[in-house]
Copies of this chain bind each other. A is one copy, B any other.
């Protein structure tokens, strides 16, 4: 059953990663699974919601900007970013945003 991330204590940060894939896998699925595993063990990581259709959207939640900066600079993640531009993504956007308000239904 699909499960959404719960509310976290505000303020915290959301990184909105929207992307358009190139055709073919080329190790993409394996990398994507590995990156979520790795991110989950980073200090300050809170959770992640993800969906892919024509475009993909992954929103990861973080306690503070420091945690995001550390994750961005992590060695294996940097390698994935490089390969992302080289082969997996046609285009992507990344937005770092401070969550100020939130509410939920039916969680």
Q: Which A residues contact B (CB, under 8 angstroms)?
A: 2-7, 13-14, 16, 18-20, 49-57, 59, 84-85, 89-107
Contacts and interface: CB of A to CB of B under 8 A. Distances in A.
A100 to B, nearest CB: 6
Contact of A57 (B51, B100, B104): B51
A104 B84 CA distance: 12
B51 A93 contact: no
Contact of A20 (B2, B14, B85, B95): B2
Nearest to A49: B18
B54 A5 contact: no
A105 B89 CA distance: 9
Contact of A97 (B55, B56, B100): B100
A106 B94 contact: no
A5 B93 contact: yes
B91 A107 contact: yes
A100 B94 CA distance: 11
